[in-house]
A and B are shown apart, each in its own frame.
Chain A
Amino acid sequence: MGDLWQGLSQAFWLVLSADAELVEIAFRSLRITVSALVLACLIALPLAALLAVRRFRWRRAVIATLNALMGLPPVVVGLIVYVLLSRSGPLGALGLLFTPTAMIVAQMIIIVPLVASIAHQSLRDLWQEYHDLLISLNVTQRQKIATLLWDSRRALLTAALAGFGRGIGEVGAIMVVGGNIDNYTRVLTTAIALETGKGEFALALALGFVLIALAIAVNLVIHWLGRTEREGAW
């Protein structure tokens, strides 16, 4: 219990004193996760819309696979990305291993199935509701997808926030592909793992509290910007 209070007060002072290292690590965490999330959304949202409106032979199998991949073990993703990006791997020539880019790639792979599955659920429901209207209006496939994505934007925001939550709290994959290099690939979660390993529980807890506060702050800002819960009837 003492460690908890000590961690909480240390977190408070770290934030209050705007500790340079903490700020740098926090911003790096944010930058990597937001980059991964944006890329993941660019893949996952159109994919989810396509799965909602298009009937093709392996559609159910694709949806089931996406759902199953939501539980993808991050360490395994990290390992696969590591093998691909290592010097002897097929993408070794790019020299990306132990860089923030590798961490973004790993996080993106973890986030895509989660965002796509959640988004698919809401887009499918909306498509059922809009089906007859959009068919009667002779919409093209592109217009159909654009309409569904726009009209589901608040639900999709929730999907994106779930992806953000998964990404910002992720440690296994980014530790493997990022290497937790000081001033370069160290992020909040890998720093917590390091401090815990060193026995610095109070500092680890302080970083943990900062991480939680950061995640909550981002969610609140997105909800505020997205005007969710204010115009439920939309």
Chain B
Amino acid sequence: MSDLFPLTVRDAVASRQGKRLVGPVNLDLSGQGACVVLGPNGSGKTTLLRLLHGIARLNKGQITWSCPKAEAQRRQAFVFQHPVMLRRSVLDNLAYPLLLRGVPRKSAQTEAAKMAERIGVSQMLDRPARVLSGGERQKVSLGRALICKPDLLFLDEPSASLDGRATREIEDILQSAKSAGTALILATHDMGQARRLADRVVFLLGGQVHEEGTATDFFARPKTQEAAAFLKGDIVEC
């Protein structure tokens, strides 16, 4: 387990234009394995992830890591639902985070080529990343996030709108990252994916943590009616 954790969230609130998006949220995460954030649309999953990673700003409350915030941010990475590809080749997209950290271009490209091999895009290294298919883009985005060996990886619905095969490939990469010791915090709508990947589950409703616990308990014995309804596939409103 990384010394990034425990992650402590206290009374965290995020609002935009007077509307509360998330909060107050209280959460303690130990950073073991994968924590899956579940909840219906508009429940605040994406906002919570962005708050934890520091892309979005808190209006109230605090988020504390066991190391200084700047250090914590440097050891995390984020994969967005809609992958942003730099206007560069696949190889240069993968090498980019290393170049930012001052790794010489040649070494960065060697590392990038190894990562491409690992994520299955080695046959398209010289292609412009922006012409790739959705699944390929997401794999490149995942490789780019993993290339600096982060202690924690945030994933915002990484396989939304991908087909079964692409989803399986993404999950394989995530499983191997998890085995290598990278903690995952993943927001998803895909219940199958949540069951396959989760060690812990945070269930959000109306911007607040409605239920939290181990994946085994959550899926077998949900404590609240709303969580049970959500698991059954019923419509749960925020």
Q: Please encode chain A, from 152 to 176, with 1 for each CB lying within 8 Å of some chain B CB and 0 for all others.
A: 1000000000000000000000000
In the assembled complex, A233 has its CB within 8 A of some CB on chain B = yes
Interface stretch among A98-106, A135-143, A191-199, A209-217? A135-143
Q: Which residue of A lies closest to B156 (CB)?
A: A132
Pairwise interchain contact A231-B128, C-beta atoms closer than 8 A: yes
A233 surroundings in chain B (CB, below 8 A) = 128, 130-131
Task: Tell me the count of chain B residues lying within 8 A, CB to CB, of chain A.
Answer: 18
Q: In the assembled complex, how far is the CB of residue B47 from the closest CB belonging to chain A, in whole angstroms?
A: 13
- Interface SS majority for chain A: helix
Contact between A136 and B53, CB atoms less than 8 A apart: yes
Partner of A136, one of B77, B86, B131: B77
**Taking the complex as formed, is A133 at the interface, i.e. its CB lies under 8 A from any CB of chain B?**
yes
**Are B84 and A130 neighbours in the complex by a CB distance under 8 Å?**
yes
Assess whether A151 is interfacial by the CB under 8 Å rule. Answer: yes
Interchain CA distance A119-B87 in the complex, whole Å = 16
A19 within 8 A of B: no
Confirm or deny: B219 has a beta carbon within 8 angstroms of a beta carbon on chain A: no
Q: Is A229 an interface residue (CB 8 A)?
A: no
Complex CA gap A233/B131 in Å reads 6
Residue-wise, chain A 217-234 has the 8 Å CB interface mask toward B (1 for contact) of: 000000000000001011
Instruction: Judge whether A151 and B78 touch: CB under 8 Å.
Output: no
* Interchain CB contact under 8 A, A135 and B84: no
Given the known inter-chain contacts A151-B88, A231-B128, please indicate yes or no for A137 contacting B97, CB distance below 8 A: yes
Task: Output the residue of B84, B97, B128, B131 with the most chain A CB within 10 A.
Answer: B84
User: Quick check: is A182 within 8 A (CB to CB) of the other chain?
Assistant: no
In the bound assembly, the distance between CA atoms of A233 and B53 in angstroms comes to 30
Which of B71-118 touch A at CB < 8 Å? 73-74, 77-78, 80, 84, 86-88, 96-97, 100
Do A136 and B100 have beta carbons less than 8 Å apart?
no
Q: How far is the CA of A231 from the CA of B74 in the complex (A)?
A: 34
- Bound-state Cα–Cα, A152 to B86, Å: 10
Residue contacts A-B, CB under 8 angstroms, 24 given: A129-B84, A130-B84, A130-B86, A132-B55, A132-B80, A133-B80, A133-B84, A133-B86, A135-B54, A136-B53, A136-B55, A136-B78, A137-B77, A137-B97, A138-B73, A138-B100, A151-B86, A231-B128, A233-B130, A233-B131, A234-B87, A234-B88, A234-B128, A234-B130
- Chain A residues with CB under 8 Å of chain B are 126, 129-130, 132-133, 135-139, 143, 147, 151-152, 231, 233-234
